[in-house]
Amino acid sequence: MNFELKPMGLAGASTEKCDALIVLVPQEFKAGKDDLSVLVARAIKSSDLDTKPGKLLPLYRPVQANAVRVVLVGIGSGSARDVRTAVVAAVASVKTASLKKLLVCFAAPAREEAVRAVVTAVADATYVYTHTKSKPEGRSLSKVLVAATNATEVQASFDRAAGIVDGAELAKEWANRPANHATPTLLGKAAQELAKLPKISCEVLGPKEVAKLGMGSFMAVAQGSDEPLRFIVLHYNGAAKTQAPTVLVGKGITFDSGGISIKPAPEMDEMKFDMSGAASVLGTFRALAALKPAINVVGLIAACENLINGQAVKPGDVVTSMSGQTIEILNTDAEGRLVLCDALTYAERFKPTAVVDIATLTGACVIALGGVRSGLFSTQDALANALFAAGDAAQDLCWRMPLDEDYAEALKTSFADVANVGGRAGGSITAAKFLQRFAEKFPWAHLDIAGTAWKSGAAKGATGRPVGLLVEFLLGQARNT
């Protein structure tokens, strides 16, 4: 899908030939002298148009515009949240197979965050998964024009949003694919495809290389599956080689049965989404290639399946991680932290400025925060504040959770250095405390996206989160170097 920003107001938008025109009307709308502005003003005055976010007035071939369908929609205060609500509602009202060219026009000067919201909302509202369908009917929309009178002022925000959409859609694609179409091997090939883009390189390690590294914790999870593990190392080189990188670590469990601590059957199909952290790393690198910030970034993905065979790890087994720490595996369904801990140790070699791991880690985080905000854990206030602010800017929200040392008491065991679970109470926090043990040598943050990476029910599918948050964070890091 092609996005374009045009310096245009309502007068210009009225002459643009398109399948649908969406006019974003703020509560403080001031009409101009052109026919479309007069129409909007009359609709408001007669109470046919309410400027509250998402309130619509659909029109068919009005004489005031050169579009087949026109939707006037309120955007309230014009905030990013209000604009997103409006665009999603308006796109739903015009989304048909004939929709190929869409024009979205601000009826007043646009804020930067509002422009970002338009781009990401249109992309989300029109995304279609097709990979495993025999007769795919993909997205019909191919051209989206975004019009604002102050286009020059918001161009940078528009470009950033378009890059984020590229990344988020790649993340959605891989997270949505069923496990037999998104094996660790196929994830490795997807990463290698990214290496064809500017400034990106890739290395994919297999079982022999991982064994030489001593990643005993990662290998323990993978040993229950016939699919070979893959450890993926991506590099985005946008700055001098001497500049220390930021490292992103993605959980890549391409299917999670729970292992011997097997999950209940209902909704187990959704465990294909357990590699959403890995998908977000792939998506972030896709966005970096488009935006080309002056920063170095490393992406690490520990990819394997968590299944059950005669070799599968058992509750009570003790394994040795790459760091040398021993781990008693009390619950084989707490496998994400077992692959992440070895990836965190591997990250030490890059002497990073910061490490952020992203994982669908705990059901406890879903209970705590639902599907609105991702859980944010960090040992560094500055890093946590930067990630939180990036989430706000991208409307990809997170919330900081505690890391008090008292929570680590639950992970004590008589049979190893640490247990992999600490009971139900504070489960997302004890999981983060487990990871913290392997992240002592660099500034570190952990994003638990178990509640935000996908939606269930009628709208089942990947969200592409937290690609927006990660890209905004990395762009902020680039500006500060």
325 within 8 A of 440, measured Cβ to Cβ: no
Write the CA distances from 13 to 8, 22, 146, integer angstroms. 7, 10, 10
In 3D space, the residue among 396, 358, 390 whose CA is nearest the CA of residue 121 turns out to be: 396
Active site positions, annotated: 263, 337
Write down the residue that tokens 């959605």 correspond to.
Answer: 172
Distance CA(401)–CA(378), nearest Å, equals: 8
Write down the residue that tokens 């101009």 correspond to.
Answer: 32
331 within 8 A of 427, measured Cβ to Cβ: no
Distance CA(393)–CA(402), nearest Å, equals: 23
Q: How many CB atoms lie within 10 A of CB 425?
A: 10
Amino acid type, 267: E
Distance CA(329)–CA(314), nearest Å, equals: 7
54 within 8 A of 84, measured Cβ to Cβ: no
Distance CA(426)–CA(423), nearest Å, equals: 8
Bridge partners of 200, per DSSP, are: 236
166 within 8 A of 212, measured Cβ to Cβ: no
Write down the residue that tokens 């297999």 correspond to.
Answer: 206
Q: How many CB atoms lie within 10 A of CB 412?
A: 11
